[in-house]
Structure 1
């Protein structure tokens, strides 16, 4: 019991020291990300499904926080890459050919 208490106090102190060493821009970006994630989650009854503006805002703000904190967001780097792949796939999809398909030639028998 005492070891657990010492461990918890130690981790909190190190977390506080790490927080003090970060820049204010990173802290502000993290606060904005957390607020936006909460807004998205409050709108959802089931699993979160952020829309295009939500995705864009979270993608931009995620770049401003340290790498270690990016892993714990609802928008992970893997999610950002999946969104990008989907966007590129939709952008470069070939349109269906227009007009009537060519007729097959009859073979002379």
Structure 2
């Protein structure tokens, strides 16, 4: 992206009251982490759902954020969620239920007592 275009984009954000935060050149991973999260949002949600308006987008993103942080397994965390550790394994027969979120795009699985 050219510097002139980037400046114009920044001005559009500023007119809407959005604070522009630049990534530090000394911290290249900062941008990579956000790019990965945005990519996950696009692949898992935005490419599969029709967003009607800004309020609907905020609702969808809030639901995805909760799913991402509380329920979605992460390989780097040994399939745990960032805000919830995995329970200890048990050797009993378990019944698992699935609750659909966002019209079936996301699924929340839980054990039945």
**What TM-score, normalized to structure 1?**
0.29
**What TM-score, normalized to structure 2?**
0.28
Greater strand content: 2
- Using CA pairs below 8 Å that are at least 6 residues apart, which structure has the higher relative contact order? 1
Greater helix content: 1
